[in-house]
Structure 1
């Protein structure tokens, strides 16, 4: 169940942060910040549903998903195709996140 939560959280975090980018770097209206703040609150709330007893472990596993989702955003929203180094780096991060998330745990 954590994987869909991580993807939803990533979308909220990236979109929420992008509203600040749009306001400061793309000179969009400050009104862009209203949905951005809501999305960032939703992001934090969603991560509480990750299947982990430890917040730090959930955040670490989420990090790999976030990196991959950020590159998807780069391509789909910003129109910039990730290069091979982006893909290699994201793949390494997703593998690391998978190890953190699915590795056997002892009590």
Structure 2
């Protein structure tokens, strides 16, 4: 199993609807990239304040690292990333990706 977690900082000028539309695009990748097993997303929801400005995130699950790699370089992912990255506060500097395999442990 492989989990692909991405945290995002959108431009402050965006509306809630524009952000929602970005996540609709991301979630839609599951229809064209069969390696995607699940997609979950949400807005930061804690009083802890440890999000360092990242207000939104999503998680995609794959069976393995090979399937994740197919997704990363899939033309549909590249196209959606090309639409979402310009909506971020500072381009790719406003994006954090973290992949791990929970079955491997530490």
With structure 1 as the length reference, what TM-score do the two structures score? 0.30
